[in-house]
Amino acid sequence: MRQFRRAYAISRKDIESYYGKPPLVTWGLLFPAVLLLSLYVKDPTTYLAIAPGIIAMTLLFGSTSMAAIVVTFEKRAGTFQRLLLAPLSMRTIILGKAASASAYGLATALVLTLGLKFALGMTLVDPVIFLVGLILGASCFSLLGLTAAVIVREVFEAMTLMNFVRFPVLFISGVFMPLSQLPSWLQPLALLSPLTYVVDLLQIGVTGRSAIGGPVVSVLAGLLFLLASALLAELLFRRAAFQ
Amino acid sequence: MRSVPIISVSNLSKSFGSLRALREVSFSVQRGEIFAYLGPNGAGKTTTIRILGGLLPRDAGEVSICGADVAREPVFVKERIGVVPDESNLYPELTCRRNLEYLGELYGLRRGMRSAKATELLEFFALTGRADTPFGALSRGLKRRLTIAAALVHEPEVVFLDEPTSGLDVPSARALRELIRSINRRGATVFLTTHNLQEAEVLSQRVLILIQGRVAALGTPAEIRQRVQRLNLLAVTFSPQIEVAPLLKACPAVLQASFQNGVWRLEVTEAHAALQQLVSFAEAAGVRLSEISTMTASLEDAFMSLLTECTTKEEARP
């Protein structure tokens, strides 16, 4: 319990120092909002098909970027050492850092969703599954952002490393087109991407339709990816802490 | 009966690739002591602090702080120690008060306690007027003070200070030394690494000199100075001034000569023989010995002597 309170302190401080700043909030929202608006202007009847993918993309970029930037920045400034000197378990540090990055990703995705609801009339047929998808995605992506941050030294290196993964993943995970329209040889690869399951859960939330096999499959797959990301982050953090 | 040491290090070794940073280092620190850990650059001081602070794993040896091993019980040990790194590394965007309160949260202090402690420390370190100033906007000296304050927020039993006065001007360094004494008077054991030998001499009860990862000397400053008392030191003034080469050539009893502020500082094997040789040299050179006196070895003399001794030994190793 004491460690949970300390993880909460880390998250709160990160939100206060970094995530709560207005420029950062608008940075996370501007691109997806403009993209969706353009699609809506082009064809108001089909934008809904792509909206869950864009929301998932917002979540992916928001959570991974912020986690990586904050940790890399703190490593450079020497302030990350304060956490290592404090009586915190490695899991507490990871939890604290990942929770604030997840909160940022979630907040931007939710603001985008609310914008779509009130401005363009998007409705959610299954809000619970939609929210589960957002939470699973934000948690998993922020942990992946943290792992990138501990591998590299500079912020630009973290961004390069993540873009190397994020852009191919965007292409294969059903963000811009349904999985069924991907070339057959790419479809098995899509199943190896956590984003695929997040897009599917958001799709179920918005349209009620799943491209994979229903919410249970996507939730279980999302949980598996979350566990794998957490284990990877812990392993790399332990190693990096002593460098 | 001697009390149980608060820090106990036994045969501590650490290598980075082929570089042996620490070689079977052993020492203990008693509760309430100010213990100085000295050494030239690259001697292994910061490596030791990083191991004791739980930031670096050791290769071999035993380390116990407050009765526990930092590698096996890191949370227990970290709750009882405060570490001031050589760089002042608090959060630049947070105010002085918020920095202290945040660190208090990380150390598990309750809300009321955190606020009271921050107020107390700001007052103790004369930073009350800067409570709402972001850390990044402070001067170097004030940053150092707040970094030390941050290490005390949870009232640690042991405080590790890595080069606390490094880069500070004389008044700030002096004020900080007084604060270190006050921290010790409040009950904390102080483990201090410094390049400043005078600082170590005036602050600490015991000193360890680390050279090339090995313990070269351990004891009170007086005990360590005694190790070099066998070396006689003379302060000599010639008028007019002379060159060092003829002096060393004419006086075999003079081992080393250095010139500072118009005075020759001579390290001699035996004072009587050296005096005779110096008088003969002065007569032959046509200069006057205007002043001559014996000198007491300082900790710096002892340090330099040990450094030369260890370097010579190391070079002689196959």
d(CA B43, CA B41): 6
In percent, the amount of chain A with pLDDT more than 70 equals 95
CB–CB contact B105 A6 (8 Å) = yes
For range B110-135, the mean pLDDT: 90
- The full DSSP string for A95-125 is HHHHHHHHHHHHHHHHHHHHHHHHHH----S
- Residue B260: pLDDT band by 50, 70, 90 thresholds? confident
CB–CB contact A85 B78 (8 Å) = yes
pLDDT in tens, A172-221: 888 788 888 888 888 888 889 999 999 999 999 988 888 888 889 999 99
Inform me whether the C-beta atom of residue A230 falls under 8 Å from chain B C-beta atoms: no
pLDDT in tens, B281-306: 988 888 888 888 877 777 777 777 77
Give which of A8, A15, A85 to mutate to test B binding, by max B Cβ within 10 Å.
A85
| A213: closest CA of chain B, how far (Å) | 44
Which CATH fold topology does B232-296 show?
Alpha-Beta Plaits (3.30.70)
Range of the domain at A6: 2-241
Q: Contacts of residue B93 in chain A, CB cutoff 8 Å?
A: 17
How many other C-beta atoms are found inside a 10 Å radius of the C-beta of residue A238? 12
d(CA B140, CA A170): 47
- Residue B159: pLDDT band by 50, 70, 90 thresholds? very high
Evaluate whether A10 touches A80 at the Cβ level (below 8 Å). no
CB–CB contact A84 B55 (8 Å) = yes
CATH class of domain segment(s) B31-50+83-226: alpha beta
- Counted across chains A and B, CB pairs separated by less than 8 A come out at 64
**Do the domains B232-296 and B31-50+83-226 match in fold?**
no
Residue A182 main-chain phi, psi, to 5 deg: -75, 155
Domain assignments of chain B as residue spans, ordered by start: 31-50+83-226, 232-296
SS3 B238: strand
| B93: closest CA of chain A, how far (Å) | 7
Evaluate whether B230 touches B296 at the Cβ level (below 8 Å). no
In this predicted structure, what is the pLDDT of residue A99? Answer: 93
In this predicted structure, what is the pLDDT of residue A160? Answer: 84
In percent, the amount of chain A with pLDDT more than 90 equals 28
Evaluate whether A218 touches A197 at the Cβ level (below 8 Å). yes
User: Picking from A3-12, A63-72, B32-41, which range would have the lowest pLDDT averaged per residue?
Assistant: A63-72
CB–CB contact B107 A9 (8 Å) = no
Inform me whether the C-beta atom of residue B90 falls under 8 Å from chain A C-beta atoms: yes
For range B209-216, the mean pLDDT: 88
Q: Contacts of residue A78 in chain B, CB cutoff 8 Å?
A: 85, 87, 89
Cα four-point dihedral sign B39, B35, B6, B218: positive
In this predicted structure, what is the pLDDT of residue A21? Answer: 67
- Residue A30: pLDDT band by 50, 70, 90 thresholds? confident
Nearest to B29 by CA among B44, B56, B48: B48
For range B148-174, the mean pLDDT: 85
CB–CB contact A242 B57 (8 Å) = yes
Domain count, chain A: 1
- Residue B132: pLDDT band by 50, 70, 90 thresholds? very high
Q: Is the peptide bond before B240 cis (omega within 30 degrees of 0)?
A: yes
Mean pLDDT of chain B: 86
In this predicted structure, what is the pLDDT of residue A20? Answer: 67
The verdict on ipTM greater than 0.85 is no
Residue B118: what residue type? A
Report the DSSP beta bridge partners of residue B260: B263
Inform me whether the C-beta atom of residue B93 falls under 8 Å from chain A C-beta atoms: yes
Task: Tell me: pLDDT of B1 over 50.
Answer: no
Strand B263-268 relative to strand B254-260: parallel, antiparallel, unpaired? Answer: antiparallel
Higher pLDDT, B194 or B305: B194
Nearest to B307 by CA among B190, B227, B230: B227
Give which of B65, B77, B90, B106 to mutate to test A binding, by max A Cβ within 10 Å.
B106
CB–CB contact A89 B92 (8 Å) = no
In percent, the amount of chain B with pLDDT more than 90 equals 31
